[in-house]
């Protein structure tokens, strides 16, 4: 079932669906169908839209805007599916409309734009930048570099340099705290979002960023793994959306509970364990999360305190929560690892106005649980 080393070292990726008895043909068909649902022509499920000859964007269908979260997710999806055409359209749109060249956020990407490209905000969201960087590195390794802006490796390394060094000349704020090496919710604040923590990405950044930045990313990898241990509740495994650097929930703006952002923590620890066997704690916490939801009906998923106390407010993205809990089975070895994946397999992709976030998480889980969310290594020494 599992090995003592992660896929980075072995080159072998678990196909959890196959372990549970699904056939290769069933699995491959479902993976392709999910891609087509998001990137095809079905208006009830699609979130990707092409513009002209060389542009494309992913639409947050609930808020009718284009977000760096979705654009960077779309690029990661495209490189995993070997769709350079889609990748380049998304990256071209991102650079044309989202990249900022002036002000304290120059070098970052505006987190929200309207579909016509107008910026809705001039601030960035670091979860977009970290996904952009790794998607670009994978693109460089899988397809090779081209002319600007498709010189993927340079774009990625420049971005990884900017996010940790910006502000050293009084020109803004870095996205990672330089002292504790933790990612911030936004650059000009001093707290975090546990779901932004991607130690499995930082492991790769420590290999492929500029040499002067590699030590920072090594330290950020260790810092994030330790941070998740203190941000997740010791009994439920749940994390808040926002948390202070000491791991305690930050509810100053009403985001100190387990809600939409928090769902991604389960997926992230699952993938970190699959790629790197990041920490034995990840197995334990994945088991805790799955146990917490084991007896709950998805139609009654809610906002919860991290201790597990429910609010009246229902979950906005129950399909996404099913998907991320299933992705935790890459680490989980408890009694609910199998049933959580089977629940996901039997859950259809979401339709309607709220589908964007759920279905992004759905596609990532589909890739990861079929052994197709891969690390694309350099074909030669860079």
Catalytic residue among 37, 261, 272, 358: 261
Rounded to two decimals, the pTM is 0.97
Give percent of the chain with pLDDT exceeding 90: 97
102-107: average pLDDT: 96
Fold entry, domain 47-175: Glycosyltransferase (1.50.10)
Question: Which residues are 323's β-sheet partners?
Answer: none
Per the structure block, which two tokens stand in for 226? Answer: 């330790």
Per the structure block, which two tokens stand in for 150? Answer: 């498709």
C-alpha gyration radius of the chain: 19
Query: What mean pLDDT, rounded, does the chain reach?
Result: 97
Per the structure block, which two tokens stand in for 148? Answer: 């600007």
Q: Which residues contact 149 (CB under 8 A, 6 or more apart)?
A: 91, 92, 95, 155
Q: What is the pLDDT of residue 381?
A: 52
Q: What is the pLDDT of residue 1?
A: 46
Annotate 283-318 with DSSP letters as a single string.
HHHHHHHHHHHTT--GGG-EEE-TT-PEEEEEPS-H
> Beta-carbon neighbour count of residue 53 at 10 Å?
7
Q: What distance, in Å, lies between the first and last C-alpha atoms of the chain?
A: 33
CATH number of the domain at 1-45+177-375, out of 3.40.80.10, 1.50.10.10, 3.30.70.3270, 3.30.420.40? Answer: 1.50.10.10
**pLDDT(382) > 80:** no
Q: Are 325 and 289 in contact (CB under 8 A)?
A: yes
Domains 1-45+177-375 and 47-175 share a fold: yes
CA distances from residue 184 to 40, 135, 176, 193 in whole angstroms, order as listed: 35, 20, 6, 7
277-299: average pLDDT: 97
Provide the pLDDT confidence category of residue 4 given band limits of 50, 70 and 90: confident
- Residue 69: active-site member: yes
Provide the pLDDT confidence category of residue 3 given band limits of 50, 70 and 90: low
Question: Which residues are 243's β-sheet partners?
Answer: 192, 249
Catalytic residue among 37, 65, 69, 358: 69
- Residue 261: active-site member: yes
Q: Where are the domains of the chain?
A: 1-45+177-375, 47-175
Q: What is the pLDDT of residue 379?
A: 85
Phi-psi category of residue 314: left, alpha or beta, with phi > 0 → left and psi -120 to 50 → alpha = beta
> Beta-carbon neighbour count of residue 43 at 10 Å?
7
323-328: average pLDDT: 99
Q: What is the pLDDT of residue 380?
A: 63
CA 84 to chain CA centroid, Å, is 20
């Amino acid at each position: 079932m599992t090995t003592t080393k992660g896929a980075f070292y072995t080159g072998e990726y678990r196909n959890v669906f196959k372990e549970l008895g699904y056939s290769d043909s069933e699995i491959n068909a479902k993976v392709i169908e999910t891609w087509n649902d998001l990137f095809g022509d079905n208006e009830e499920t699609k979130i990707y839209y092409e513009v002209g000859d060389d542009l494309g964007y992913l639409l947050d269908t609930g808020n009718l805007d284009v977000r760096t979260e979705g654009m960077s997710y779309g690029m990661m999806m495209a490189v995993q599916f070997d769709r350079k055409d889609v990748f380049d359209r998304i990256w071209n749109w991102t650079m044309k409309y989202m990249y900022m060249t002036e002000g304290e956020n120059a070098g970052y990407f505006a987190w929200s734009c309207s579909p016509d490209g107008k910026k809705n905000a001039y601030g960035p969201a670091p979860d977009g930048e970290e996904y952009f960087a790794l998607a670009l590195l994978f693109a460089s390794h899988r397809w090779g570099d081209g002319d600007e802006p498709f010189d993927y490796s340079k774009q990625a390394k420049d971005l990884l340099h900017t996010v940790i060094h910006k502000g050293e000349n009084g020109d803004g704020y870095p996205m990672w705290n330089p002292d504790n090496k933790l990612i911030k919710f936004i650059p000009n604040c001093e707290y975090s979002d546990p779901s932004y923590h991607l130690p499995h990405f930082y492991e790769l950044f420590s290999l492929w960023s500029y040499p002067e930045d590699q030590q920072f990313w090594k330290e950020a990898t260790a810092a994030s793994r330790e941070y998740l241990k203190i941000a997740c509740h010791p009994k439920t495994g749940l994390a808040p959306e926002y948390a202070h650097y000491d791991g305690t929930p930050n509810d100053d703006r009403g985001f100190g509970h387990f809600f939409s952002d928090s769902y991604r923590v389960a997926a992230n620890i699952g993938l970190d364990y699959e790629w790197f066997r990041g920490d034995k704690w990840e197995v334990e916490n994945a088991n805790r999360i799955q146990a917490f939801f084991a007896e709950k009906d998805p139609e009654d998923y809610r906002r919860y305190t991290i201790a597990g106390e429910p609010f009246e407010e229902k979950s906005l993205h129950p399909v996404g929560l099913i998907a991320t809990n299933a992705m935790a089975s890459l680490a989980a070895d408890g009694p609910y690892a199998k049933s959580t994946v089977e629940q996901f397999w039997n859950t259809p992709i979401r339709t309607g106005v709220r589908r964007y976030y759920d279905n992004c998480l759905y596609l990532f889980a589909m890739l990861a649980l079929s052994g197709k969310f891969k690390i694309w290594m350099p074909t030669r020494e860079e």
